């Protein structure tokens, strides 16, 4: 079976569990085989046998004595999901329904609120709201903690269960209780569900000569959408196009193959990303196939604390190749790869199977990618390593095997103007309005940097 590797927030499950004699019901009901008795005499295997017998004993005791009848499937799925979510923040089990929901979302359409979430310390944490969805219009922000849904606490719910509760029929309503940094009291936010059709690539011309392309997530439509957007902007600008801004802010990531394809659009040759798994033979490397679709135009990439996973692969590759200048704030720091493994008739599991590394050998796991030009969005945003990143999640993987502790290769190609770019907007800077690009301080600084970059130098590469 060929598994698809992605960078999706999720979880995993190991098959082939064996149960001891005390769990005869389990073996008969779920097709689990017994361990041979000889294994009980074999060191560590004997301890494994004892623990699996303990699991069977607990299962039987819960079935027989819990205050209310319990569904066997629920018990087993809860146990599996607990095993997986206890590994790291991104491994979990998906039942058949959750697996179908994930496949729909990966294709770019699903029903709900439009929030990318993960689980942290028993609560649901917002990675980022998706543009033009009920969540973004209601002001949900990256880093918000969802405490309750319709007044019911999310503590005790798995990530899948919480997501399932947030999804629902279009026009149905739900109330979220949110804790936000800097707010003394929880916020109550009422939302109306919609069919979420994700437009993953949005674009327009800035000043008639700069292509602005925003990528909101990496699903199956991302690379083709970016290519179409750039072609349209080239046609619109004629021969005046002098540079590209690739906006990856608050992009939570998605599919690894799409990250590779997008990075490949800007790089002529060399490595894009590599992964290192537990077993050396499972490690992989992806190289550019050649053919920069921009013809060497200067590129500035916008990143922030909501830029995660696939976004960081693209940003890291373009930074290491000195193909783009990164501007903004440090990224989220999710440097692990999840493999989605279908379980016939029983959904699927997402299992963390590798760490990924940028072309220079950096692991950004828990560290994130530092921009070449540090610029905060507002005066309130701290222009250094913020809390609520990957490293702050419970059971986050350690940063391991990389070079230089996440430091990018030294750059000598930055234009002199970067020394004059302010890290914070002036005190009288207008409040950000998505409909008014002139209020986007980071974007305006990116435009200034891009216009200072010589076109001819890059086009000659």
Helix (H, G, I), strand (E, B) or coil at 22: helix
Structural domains of the chain, with CATH: 110-197 (2.30.42.10), 201-459 (3.90.226.10)
Helix (H, G, I), strand (E, B) or coil at 224: helix
| CA 382 from centre of chain | 22
| Residue 182, token pair as written in the block | 């800097």
pLDDT in tens, the chain (461 residues): 334 444 443 222 222 222 233 333 343 333 333 344 444 445 578 899 999 999 999 999 999 999 999 999 899 989 999 999 999 999 999 888 888 877 877 776 677 898 888 887 778 999 878 878 999 999 999 889 999 999 999 998 888 789 889 988 889 999 999 999 888 899 999 999 998 877 889 999 999 999 999 999 999 889 999 999 999 999 999 889 999 999 999 999 989 999 999 999 999 999 999 999 999 999 999 999 988 999 999 999 999 999 999 999 999 999 999 999 999 999 999 999 999 899 887 789 999 999 999 999 999 999 999 999 999 999 875 544 434 678 778 888 888 877 766 677 788 899 999 999 999 999 999 988 877 899 999 999 999 999 999 885 444 33
- Pairwise CA distance, residues 311 & 315, whole Å: 6
Please provide the DSSP assignment of 291-329 as one string. Answer: --TTTT--EEEEE-TT--THHHHHHHHHHHTT-SEEEES
Please provide the DSSP assignment of 231-267 as one string. Answer: HHHHHHHGGG--EEEEE-TT---BBHHHHHHHHHTT-
pTM beyond 0.85: the answer is no
The residues carrying an active-site annotation are: 309, 320, 334
- Pairwise CA distance, residues 146 & 132, whole Å: 20
Distance separating the N- and C-terminal Cα atoms of the chain: 41
Among 397, 395, 377, residue whose Cα is nearest residue 386: 377
For 438, other C-beta atoms within 10 Å of its C-beta total: 9
Q: How far is CA 111 from CA 9, 195, 199, 412, in A?
A: 18, 4, 14, 47
- Pairwise CA distance, residues 57 & 26, whole Å: 10
- Pairwise CA distance, residues 277 & 284, whole Å: 8
């Amino acid at each position: 079976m060929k598994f698809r590797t992605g960078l999706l927030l999720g979880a995993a499950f190991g098959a082939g569990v064996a149960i001891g004699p005390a769990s005869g019901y389990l073996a008969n009901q779920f097709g689990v085989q017994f361990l041979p008795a000889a294994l009980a005499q074999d060191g560590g295997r004997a301890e494994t046998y004892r623990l699996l017998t303990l699991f069977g004993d607990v299962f039987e005791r819960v079935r027989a004595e819990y205050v209310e009848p319990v569904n066997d499937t629920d018990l087993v799925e809860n146990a599996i999901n607990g095993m997986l979510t206890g590994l790291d923040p991104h491994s979990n089990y998906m039942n058949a329904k959750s697996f179908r929901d994930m496949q729909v979302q990966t294709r770019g359409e699903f029903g709900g609120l439009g929030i990318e979430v993960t689980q942290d310390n028993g609560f649901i944490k917002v990675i980022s709201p998706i543009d033009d969805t009920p969540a973004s219009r209601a002001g949900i922000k990256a880093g918000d903690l969802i405490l309750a849904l319709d007044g019911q606490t999310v503590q005790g719910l798995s990530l899948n269960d919480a997501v399932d509760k947030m999804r629902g029929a279009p026009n149905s309503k739900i109330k979220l209780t949110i804790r936000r940094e800097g707010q003394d009291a929880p916020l109550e936010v009422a939302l109306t569900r919609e069919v979420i059709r994700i437009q993953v690539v949005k674009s327009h011309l800035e000043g008639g000569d700069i292509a602005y392309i925003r990528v909101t997530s990496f699903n199956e439509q991302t690379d083709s959408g970016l290519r179409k957007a750039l072609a349209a902007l080239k046609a619109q600008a004629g021969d005046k196009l002098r540079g590209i801004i690739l906006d990856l802010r608050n992009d939570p990531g998605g599919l690894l193959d799409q990250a590779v394809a997008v990075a490949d659009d800007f790089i002529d040759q060399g490595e894009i990303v590599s992964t290192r798994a537990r077993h050396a033979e499972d490690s992989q490397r992806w190289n550019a196939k050649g053919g920069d679709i921009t013809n060497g135009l200067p590129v500035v990439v916008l990143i922030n604390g909501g830029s995660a996973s696939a976004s960081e692969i693209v940003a890291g590759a373009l930074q290491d190749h000195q193909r783009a200048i990164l501007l903004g704030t440090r990224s989220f720091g999710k440097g692990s790869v999840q493999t989605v493994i279908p379980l016939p008739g029983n959904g699927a599991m997402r299992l963390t199977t590798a760490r990924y590394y940028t072309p220079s050998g950096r692991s950004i796991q828990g560290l994130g990618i530092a921009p070449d030009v540090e610029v905060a969005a507002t005066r309130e945003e701290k222009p250094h390593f913020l809390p609520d990143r990957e490293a702050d999640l419970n059971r986050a993987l350690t940063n391991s095997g990389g070079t230089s502790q996440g430091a990018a290769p030294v750059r000598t190609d930055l234009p002199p103007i970067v020394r004059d770019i302010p890290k914070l907007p002036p005190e009288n800077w207008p409040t950000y309005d998505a409909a008014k690009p002139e209020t986007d301080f980071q974007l305006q600084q990116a435009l200034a940097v891009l216009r200072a970059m010589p076109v001819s130098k890059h086009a000659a590469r």
